[in-house]
């Protein structure tokens, strides 16, 4: 199902890629986008795309990204597993979702492509390793010294907390 937008006397049908959904605010998931999905993708104001396949990204899609200044990050994961489902499943574990909810979301999007090996991977994914990695990155940027760089979001207007002695 697509959205119809009137644009200078002609109607443009906006078709999302297969399996399209919002994961978090401004983070989306989908199957591989086709050229007929480009008008829909334009409405999202994307800044980057993560491509999980090892195959080269098609030239037509690269041209679309380049013309809109969208960055491409490719992490070529071998095999025919439901890569996006595993990635989102691990994110959900990191967000402290209960495992049954993680599996339910995975099943919803994987459909007939659901694999028991993917579910085992998600179940055994070690969240603490990722947390330690993130803490290391945050410490590298925030640290305790005044010369350390800060990791900020554009909207972050907070002042660095002052350290006081007792």
pLDDT in tens, the chain (166 residues): 555 555 554 678 899 999 999 999 999 999 999 999 999 999 999 999 999 999 999 999 999 999 999 999 999 888 766 889 999 999 999 999 999 999 999 999 999 989 999 999 999 999 888 888 877 877 777 665 555 555 554 544 544 445 555 4
pLDDT at 3 (0 to 100)? 56
- Its sign, for the CA torsion 58, 61, 63, 65, is negative
pLDDT at 131 (0 to 100)? 80
- How many whole angstroms separate alpha carbon 51 and alpha carbon 71? 11
Q: b/e map of 15-33 (b: 16 or more CB within 10 Å)?
A: bbbebbeeeeeeeebbebb
> What domains lie within the chain, and their CATH numbers?
1-78 (3.90.190.10), 80-157 (3.90.190.10)
8 Å CB contact between 119 and 103: yes
- How many whole angstroms separate alpha carbon 68 and alpha carbon 86? 28
pLDDT at 138 (0 to 100)? 77
pLDDT at 166 (0 to 100)? 46
Considering the entire predicted model, what is its pTM? Answer: 0.71
């Amino acid at each position: 199902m697509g959205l119809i937008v009137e644009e200078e006397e002609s109607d443009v049908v906006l078709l999302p890629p297969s399996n399209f959904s919002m994961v978090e605010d401004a983070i989306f998931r989908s199957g591989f986008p086709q050229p007929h999905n480009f008008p829909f993708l334009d409405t999202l104001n994307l800044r980057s795309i993560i491509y999980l396949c090892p195959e080269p990204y098609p030239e037509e899609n690269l041209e679309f990204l380049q013309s809109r200044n969208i960055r491409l990050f490719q992490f070529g994961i071998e095999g025919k597993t439901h890569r996006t489902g595993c990635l989102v499943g691990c994110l959900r574990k990191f967000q402290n979702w209960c495992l049954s909810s993680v599996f339910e979301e995975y099943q919803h999007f994987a459909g007939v492509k659901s694999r028991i090996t993917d579910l085992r991977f998600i179940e055994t994914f070690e969240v603490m390793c990722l947390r330690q990695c993130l803490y290391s990155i945050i410490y590298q940027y925030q640290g305790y010294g005044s010369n350390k760089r800060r990791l900020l979001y554009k909207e972050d207007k907070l002042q660095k907390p002052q350290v006081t002695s007792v």
